[in-house]
Amino acid sequence: MNTVQLIPYSPLQPPADNIKISLTLAKSNHQINADFTLLGDITSILWPAPTESSQGTDLWKHTCFELFIAAAGNPAYWEYNFSPSRQWAVYAFEAYRKAIPLRITSIPIINPPELADNRFSLQTRIALESELIDKPLTIGAATVLETTDGRCQYFALKHCGKKPDFHLRESFILAMD
């Protein structure tokens, strides 16, 4: 199990409302379990309305949590988006931002989010694609927070570009065997 902190993309904005974002990842039985946790003044975050777990589109334009998973040394990767509404999206890429058709083999599971005064938690479970099973993985993680005043703030394990770009492989810094 790994717990890491996501950092804000500070050239665009200072850290918002002293929000801290952590991610705990665990790999077992050909799956990844992820727990995103926000701590701090979360009252300025625009939370999407809850729904049943379903596939969505353009989730990254609003408050959203993201994982990028690749087999180490392979340019192909998968992007997983999770909305607090419980909508999800999965994308496959053969190389940097070069999308390929995706046949969804397993629907990500998103537990109902937990929202309290100064804490938000979203737990997900992803079945690994066959190309990722029993291989060392490199993982990137990101969060987009849309605020009630219409701004978006960007957090990631590492920011490597001149603007927030979570697809850059240099930002896939978490290794899992």
Q: Phi-psi category of 148—alpha, beta or left, where left has phi over 0 and alpha has psi -120 to 50?
A: alpha
Pairs from 18-22 (Cβ < 8 Å, separation ≥ 24): 19/45, 19/145, 21/143, 21/155
Per-residue pLDDT at 52: 87
Per-residue pLDDT at 16: 56
Q: Is the pLDDT of residue 22 over 60?
A: yes
Q: What is the pTM of this model?
A: 0.93
- The answer for residues whose C-beta is within 8 angstroms of residue 151's C-beta and 6 or more apart is 13
Q: How big is the chain by its Cα radius of gyration, in Å?
A: 15
Q: Is the pLDDT of residue 139 over 60?
A: yes
Kindly indicate the confidence band of residue 106, based on its pLDDT and cuts at 50, 70 and 90. confident
Q: What is the DSSP string of 136-176?
A: -EEEEEEEEEEBTTS-EEEEES---SSS--TT-GGG--EEE
**Mean pLDDT score, 47-69:** 93
Q: What's the sign of the alpha-carbon dihedral 67, 70, 75, 79? A: negative
- Architecture of the domain delimited by 2-176: Sandwich (2.60)
**Helix (H) and strand (E) counts in the chain:** 0, 14
